[in-house]
C-alpha cells in the first residue's frame, strides 16, 4: 500500500472545479518542475488537472476511462472501463443492483464505443502522452465509489510510470480504501463523513463540454511547443 495523505474530514464546498484544482495543487507543490504529467479523467477531471498542471509546471493529457453504470441508475458505478480495455467490476454491487453478465457486456461495448469516439476527438488535438518512466499524477473532480479511478490506475500501471499518484478533491471513505493500494501515493483534500454524490461538494458542477476539453488540451500543446 502506498502513502496516503488526507487533509480534512469536513464538508467543504468548492466554488467550482477550477478552485478545487488550485487548492489541490498546493498539496502537490513538491512536484513542481519535476517533469510530471498530469492526467485528467474527462470531462470534469481535466479542468481540475489543468489547474494542477499550470501550478506545478507539468505536462497535461486525458485519461480516457468510462464508468459502467447500474441498470436504471447510470450514475451509480458498478465498474469502469479504461482506454486500454482494462475493466474493474464491483461484483457484489453488480449482483445487488441486478446487473447480470449480458447487461455488463452490453455496457462494456457501449462504453468502449464512447472511449473510441472521445479518443478520435481529443487525440487530434493532443496525441497520447508517453508516461513510461515519468512521474504521473491522475485526477478527477471526485470519487464516490472509486471505480473509474481504480480502472484508470490499473491501466496506467501497465505503462510503467516511474511513480503513480492519485490526487482528488473529495473521496468517500470506502473509495479511499480501494484507491490507496492502487497508487504509489493518494492525495485527498477531504474525506467527508457522508457522501451522497460528488456534486454536493461543488457550488458550480455544470457539465464540461468536449469543446472545453479540446481547448484546454490545445492550450497545453502550445505551452509545450514554446518550451521546445
227 — pLDDT class (breaks 50, 70, 90): low
34 — pLDDT class (breaks 50, 70, 90): very high
- Whether the pLDDT of residue 168 is over 90: the answer is yes
- Residue 189: its H or E element: strand 185-190
Query: pLDDT of 118-131, one tens digit each?
Result: 999 999 999 999 99
Delimit the domains of the chain by residue range. 3-65+127-227
C-alpha distances out from residue 171 to 15, 37, 55, 167, 174, Å: 17, 22, 22, 10, 8
- Whether the pLDDT of residue 223 is over 80: the answer is no
225 — pLDDT class (breaks 50, 70, 90): low
Q: CA 182 to CA 219: how far, in whole Å?
A: 30
Q: What is the mean pLDDT of residues 126-145?
A: 95
Number of C-beta neighbours around residue 114 at 10 A: 13
Least confident of 25-29, 65-69, 216-220: 65-69
Q: CA 33 to CA 24: how far, in whole Å?
A: 16
- Whether the pLDDT of residue 65 is over 90: the answer is no
- Whether the pLDDT of residue 43 is over 60: the answer is yes
Q: CA 54 to CA 21: how far, in whole Å?
A: 10
Q: CA 45 to CA 110: how far, in whole Å?
A: 21
Choice between 147 and 37, residue whose per-residue pLDDT is larger: 37
36 — pLDDT class (breaks 50, 70, 90): very high
pTM: 0.88
- What is the reported pLDDT for 88? 85
Q: What is the mean pLDDT of residues 66-77?
A: 87
Per-chain mean pLDDT for the chain:
92
- What is the reported pLDDT for 54? 96
- What is the reported pLDDT for 76? 81
Q: CA 41 to CA 191: how far, in whole Å?
A: 20
Q: Per DSSP, what are the bridge partners of residue 168? A: 188
187 — pLDDT class (breaks 50, 70, 90): very high
- What is the reported pLDDT for 213? 95
C-alpha distances out from residue 37 to 47, 63, 76, 92, 98, Å: 14, 11, 29, 34, 39
Residues 6+ positions from 163 with CB-CB distance below 8 Å:
135, 136, 184, 185
Contact 190, 19 (CB under 8 A): no
228 — pLDDT class (breaks 50, 70, 90): very low
- What is the reported pLDDT for 226? 55
The fold of 3-65+127-227 is Rossmann fold (3.40.50)
Q: Give the CA angle between residues 29, 32, 36 to the nearest 5°.
A: 115
Q: Are strands 65-70 and 73-82 parallel, antiparallel or unpaired?
A: antiparallel
- What is the reported pLDDT for 188? 98
Amino acid at each position: 500500500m502506498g502513502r496516503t495523505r488526507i487533509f480534512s474530514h469536513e464538508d467543504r464546498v468548492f466554488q467550482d472545479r477550477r478552485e478545487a484544482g488550485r487548492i489541490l495543487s498546493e498539496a502537490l507543490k513538491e512536484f513542481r518542475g519535476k517533469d510530471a504529467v498530469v492526467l485528467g479523467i474527462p470531462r470534469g477531471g481535466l479542468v481540475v488537472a489543468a489547474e494542477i498542471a499550470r501550478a506545478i509546471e507539468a505536462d497535461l493529457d486525458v485519461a480516457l476511462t468510462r464508468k459502467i453504470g447500474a441498470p436504471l441508475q447510470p450514475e451509480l458505478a458498478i465498474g469502469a472501463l479504461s482506454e486500454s480495455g482494462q475493466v474493474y467490476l464491483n461484483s457484489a454491487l453488480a449482483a445487488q443492483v441486478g446487473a447480470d453478465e449480458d447487461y455488463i457486456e452490453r455496457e462494456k461495448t457501449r462504453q468502449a464505443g464512447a472511449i473510441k469516439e472521445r479518443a478520435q476527438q481529443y487525440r487530434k488535438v493532443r496525441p497520447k502522452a508517453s508516461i513510461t518512466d515519468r512521474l504521473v499524477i491522475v485526477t478527477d473532480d471526485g470519487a464516490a465509489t472509486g471505480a473509474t479511478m481504480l480502472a484508470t490506475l490499473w491501466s496506467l500501471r501497465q505503462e510503467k510510470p516511474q511513480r503513480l499518484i492519485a490526487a482528488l478533491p473529495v473521496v468517500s471513505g470506502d473509495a479511499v480504501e480501494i484507491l490507496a493500494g492502487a497508487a504509489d501515493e493518494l492525495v485527498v483534500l477531504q474525506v467527508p463523513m457522508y457522501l451522497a454524490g460528488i456534486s454536493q461538494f461543488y457550488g458550480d458542477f455544470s457539465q464540461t463540454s468536449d469543446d472545453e476539453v479540446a481547448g484546454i488540451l490545445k492550450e497545453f500543446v502550445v505551452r509545450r511547443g514554446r518550451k521546445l
